[in-house]
Structure 1
Amino acid sequence: MDKSNGLRVILFPLPLQGCISPMLQLANILHSRGFSITVVHTRFNAPKASSHPLFTFLEIPDGLSETQIKDDPTSNVLSLVEQININAESPFRDCLQKLLVQESERVSCLIDDCGWLFTQSVAESLNLPRLVLSTFKATFLNAYPIFPRILTKGYFSLSDWEAEDSVLEFPPLLKRDHSWLFREDGEKLNQFFDTVVKNTMRSSGLLFMSCEELEKDSLTLAKETFMVPVFAIGPFHSYFSASSSSLFRQDDTCIHWLDNQDDKSVIYVSLGSVVNITKTEFLEIAWGLSNSKQCFLWVLRPGLVLGAEWNELFSEGLLRSLEEKGKIVKWSPQEEVLAHRAVGGFLTHNGWNSTLESICEGVPMICLPGGSDQMLNARFVSDVWRVGIHLEGKIERKEIEKAVRMLMVESEGKKIRERMNVMKDEVGRSVKNGGSSLRSIETLVNHILSL
C-alpha cells in the first residue's frame, strides 16, 4: 500500500458473487493507492471479512427472511434486486449518516454498484459524491437508454428467418437473442433501466472493469451517453485475485488433478454462480462431455440443476464414463484453473467476470449464455472477436460434443486459439506500465482526491 492519503472510500456491492468480487478487487486497487476502505454490505451473501483484514466491514439488514435465503433468492435476480432495493434503503442511509459523523478520516466518496437504485439520492442528501461501478461490459450499459425502445419491437415471437437478423439498435445481438435477454417483466425492466440511467448521469463518475483494448468505441460512447467522467480500469483481477472474495468453498483438489493432465487437454465447464439449468439440459451436457472423449473439469455448484441434486441423475454407465475422463467439483478457484497449462477451453455462461478471466489467460470459449449481458458477451466472443464457439442455445449432446471436439482437437480450434493468444497479449498490455488501464487508475485516483 502507498502511504495513506488520509481519505476513506465507502464501497457498497450488490449481494451477488459477480458483483461482490469486482467490488472487493476495486477495494484492493484503491487501498494500494493510499485510501482507507469501508465495505457496507447486506446480511445476505455477506463477504468474508476475515479474508480482507485491511478493510472495515459493516453489515446492514436486507429484509430477507430465513426462508427466502434458504430458497436462494438469486434464482430470480431482477426480483431480488427489486426487493433488496426497497428493504436496504433506510438501513443504508442510517449507516452512511453514522459513518460520516464518526469517521476520523474524511470520507471522500461512495462507490456502489449501478444496480442500487436509491444510493444516488441518499448520497446527494448527505453531500457525498457517488461513483458508479458497472460490472457489465460498457457496451451493455450503453444500451440501457435504448432498451425500452427495443422491448417494443416484438422480437419475442419471430419467424425462423427473422430471428437471425441483427438488431440495428444494438449490434452484434441477433433478434432471437432478445427472447433470452429480456425474460423478465418488461415494465419492471423499463423502470429499472430508466432509473439506472438517470442516477448514473447524476453521479460523479462511472467505473468499468474493462479496458480500451476491448471496447474503446463503447467507452467513448459511455462518456457521451452518461455525461460523466469514465474510468476503464480493468481487468480488475489482473491486479488482485478474486479468490478471497468467493462466497463458495473452493475445491483445490482440482488443481492437483490438472497437474496430472496433458497441456491444453482439459475443457473447463462452469456456468457461474447464478445460472440454473433443467434436469434434461444437465444430462445433455453430461452426455456431450462423455461422448466428446475429452478430459474435463466440471463445476456443479449446489442448486445449479433445478429441482434435483445432480448426482441423483446419473445412470451407472454415464457416471462410469464421466469418471474415466473428468473431475467434478462443487466450486473451483477459477482464476487458477484458467491459468493452468492443462486447460485448453472453457464452456462458460459468459458472465463478464468469467469472460475477462478467460481472455486474460488466453483460453478460448464455448458460449452457453443464460441471459442478460451474457448474451452480448457471447456474441462478442463468437462473432466479433472470434475467440470462441457459440452453442446458440442448443443444449443438446451432439452440439456439445461437436463444439468441444472442434475447440480442443480440430483445425478450427487451433485458429480460434491463435486469435485468442493475440487478444490476450493486447489486453495484457493495458495493465502494464504505460497501459491504458494503469493510466486510467491514476486518473481515477486524482479524480477522487479532487472531490
Structure 2
Amino acid sequence: MAAAAEQHMKPHAIMVPVPLQGHLIPSVELALKLASNGFTITFINTQITHSKITLARSLTGESPDDEDIFSDQRNLHGFDIRYVTLSDGFPLSFDRSRNHNEFMEGLLLAFPVIVDEFIGNLLSSDVNPPVSYLIADSFFVWPSAVAKKHCLVHISFWTEPALAFTMYYHIHLLRRHGHFDSQDNRRDAINYIPGVEAIECRDLPSYLQDSEPWSVMHRYIFKSLEDAREADFVICNTVFELESSTITALQETKPFYAIGPIFRRGSAVAADFWPETPGCGPWLDARPENSVLYISFGSLVNVGKEVIQEIAHGLLQNSKLSFLWAIRRDITGCEETKVLPVGFEDEVRGRGLVVAWCSQIEVLSHSATGGFLTHCGWNSVLESVWCEVPMLCFPLLTDQFTNRKLVVDDWKVGMNMCGGKEVGREEVAENMKRLMNDAEGLRENMKERKKTLQNALSPDGSSEKNFEQFMHDIKLKIQPKSSIST
C-alpha cells in the first residue's frame, strides 16, 4: 500500500519534442534529467522519427530495440520513461523534406488532433501516477490549448538561446516600431527590447528579417510563439551568466528558467537520424593537436552546391590544412549527390576526410580538432563551447543569425566565415587560415566560457539551482482536479 501511494505521488509529465534532430536530442536529455529526479515521463515521438532512428542504428550494425529508444537507460538506471510513437498525420512513405509546406500544414492541423486524442485517452485510462504536466517544444502551435483542455500545467521547452526567444516574444514591439511586417522595414539598430542592448536587424532570427513573412512556415513559427506566450512556465537551454540581462527581463513577465546546457555528454540513447560513418576516430587519432578543421552544417539546413564548392576551393587553397567534413547526402535539398568539385577528394587525400555523418560531440572533444566551421545551430554552439573549439560562423536560417551574434560579437569565441552574404573562396580560405593559426585570443575566451558552463552545472551552479526552483514551482502549481473549474 505504501509503495502504491508513493507511486501515485510521483510527478508525471508528457513530453513532446518537435520531430527534428536538433530538437529531439535536448528533449531526450531533458527527459533523462527529469527521470533521474523522480519524474515519470511519457515521451512521445513521431513514427517517422522513430523509424529514422531505428534505420540509422541498423545500418551501423546495431541490433536496436524496435520499440523503445530509452530501454537501455531504463534497464541501467530504473528510470520510469514510457515511450510512445504517434503518427504525424502522414504515411511513413511521405517525403517530408520535398513536400515541406504540406508537412508544415500537417503539423498545424493534423498532429494537434492526434496528440490531443492520445492525451485524452491516456488520462481517461486512470494512468498511474496521474499526469499533471505537459512539456512541449516551444515550436508547436497546440500545447496551451491542449493543456488547458485537459487541466495540465503547460511547460514550454525553448531549445534556442534566450535572446532569440525574447525577439519573438516582443514581435509586437518590432511591428509597432516598423522593424518587422511593414512594407518597408526599418534597417537601423533595434534598441527597445527589454534586456537587450541595441541589436542589428541582421542578427534577428531569419523569420523576423523577411520582408514578406506570409508563407506557411512563417504562419507556423509565429503561431507557435504566440502559444508559448501562454505557457505556465518556460524552460530554456541556456545559461543565466551567458544571457543575464535578457533572462532577467524575461523573468519579469514570465516564469523563465535557464537550465542549460542540455546536450549529449555520454548518453546512450539513440537519437540520430543518420548512421555514423565509421573511421572518424582513428583518422583523428593520427592528427596532431588542434590541427583539424571540422566542418558541418547540422542535421536540417540545406546548403547550395555553389556555396559548398566555394568552401571546397577554400580548402584547396589551404593545402596544408587537415579537415573533417560531414556532408549529409540531402544537404542541397535535391537528389544531386556529387556536390564537391571534380577530383576534390583525390586532391585532398591524406589530409582531408569527407563523411556523410559523424558523432559531433566525439569529433569536437577530440584533441586533434582545432576549429569548427558551423552553421551556428544552438546545439553546435553549446557543444563547441563545452569542447573549447573556436568557431568559424556561417549562419543560414532561423536562430543561427542570433547565435552568430552571441558567438562572435558578445562572447568573442568565434569569427565570421565571410563578411557579407556572398561566399567567395579567397575570403573563405583566408578566414580558415586565421581561425586555425591565429586563434589564441578566441581559445582564451573559450576557456572562460567553458568555465561558465561547468560552473552552471555544478551543485551550487545557476542552472542546477534554476532546475531545482523549477521543479519546486511546478509542483506548487498542481491543484486537485476537483478544484479546477471546467
TM-score between the two structures when normalised by the length of structure 2: 0.82
Query: Which has more radius of gyration?
Result: 2
Shift of 1:217: 1.3
User: Cα–Cα, structure 1 residues 153 and 203, in superposed 2: closer, same or farther, change >3 Å?
Assistant: closer
1:87 aligns with 2:107: no
Q: For the Cα contact (< 8 Å) 1:243–1:333, is it kept in 2?
A: no
Q: For the Cα contact (< 8 Å) 1:407–1:414, is it kept in 2?
A: no
**Cα RMSD, aligned residues only:** 2.8
Q: Which residue of 57, 77, 84 corresponds with 2:83?
A: 57
Which residue number in structure 1 is paired with residue 300 of structure 2? 274
- How many Å separate the matches in 2 of 1:104 and 1:119? 22
- What secondary structure does 1:369 align onto? coil
Which residue number in structure 2 is paired with residue 135 of structure 1? 159
User: Cα–Cα, structure 1 residues 95 and 149, in superposed 2: closer, same or farther, change >3 Å?
Assistant: same
Report the AA paired with residue 328 of structure 1. Answer: V
1:269-313 alpha-carbon deviations (Å, 9 max, x no partner): 000111111111111111112222311110101110243544364
- How many Å separate the matches in 2 of 1:358 and 1:346? 8
1:153-202 alpha-carbon deviations (Å, 9 max, x no partner): 3799999xx97x53335656433456955448514577556544443343
1:20 aligns with 2:24: yes
Which residue number in structure 2 is paired with residue 166 of structure 1? 189
Q: Which protein is richer in helix relative to its size? A: 1
> How many residues of Structure 1 are paired with residues of Structure 2 in the alignment?
438
Shift of 1:329: 1.1
Which residue number in structure 2 is paired with residue 420 of structure 1? 446
Q: Which residue of 394, 408, 422 corresponds with 2:436?
A: 408
Shift of 1:212: 1.0
Which residue number in structure 1 is paired with residue 60 of structure 2? none
Taking only the aligned residue pairs, the percentage that are identical comes to 27
Shift of 1:136: 1.3
TM-score between the two structures when normalised by the length of structure 1: 0.89
- What secondary structure does 1:89 align onto? helix
Shift of 1:18: 1.0
Which residue number in structure 2 is paired with residue 314 of structure 1? 341
1:328-364 alpha-carbon deviations (Å, 9 max, x no partner): 1111111111111111111000011111111111111
- How many Å separate the matches in 1 of 2:206 and 2:363? 29
User: Cα–Cα, structure 1 residues 156 and 186, in superposed 2: closer, same or farther, change >3 Å?
Assistant: same
1:8-57 alpha-carbon deviations (Å, 9 max, x no partner): 21100111111111111100000110112211122232355543113322
Report the AA paired with residue 302 of structure 1. Answer: R
Unmatched runs of 5 consecutive residues or more in structure 2: 1-5, 55-66, 75-80, 479-486
Unmatched runs of 5 consecutive residues or more in structure 1: none
Q: How does 1:52-451 map to 2 (within 5 A)?
A: 52-53=70-71, 54=74, 55-66=81-92, 68-69=94-95, 71-73=97-99, 76=100, 80-102=103-125, 103-147=127-171, 150=174, 152-153=178-179, 166-169=189-192, 173-177=199-203, 180-181=206-207, 182-183=209-210, 185-187=212-214, 192=220, 195-225=223-253, 227=254, 229-237=255-263, 241=267, 244-293=270-319, 294-311=321-338, 313-316=340-343, 318-391=344-417, 392=419, 393-410=421-438, 413-450=439-476, 451=478
Q: For the Cα contact (< 8 Å) 2:183–2:211, is it kept in 1?
A: no
- How many Å separate the matches in 2 of 1:378 and 1:79? 30
- How many Å separate the matches in 2 of 1:424 and 1:172? 26
- What secondary structure does 2:353 align onto? strand
Report the AA paired with residue 431 of structure 1. Answer: L
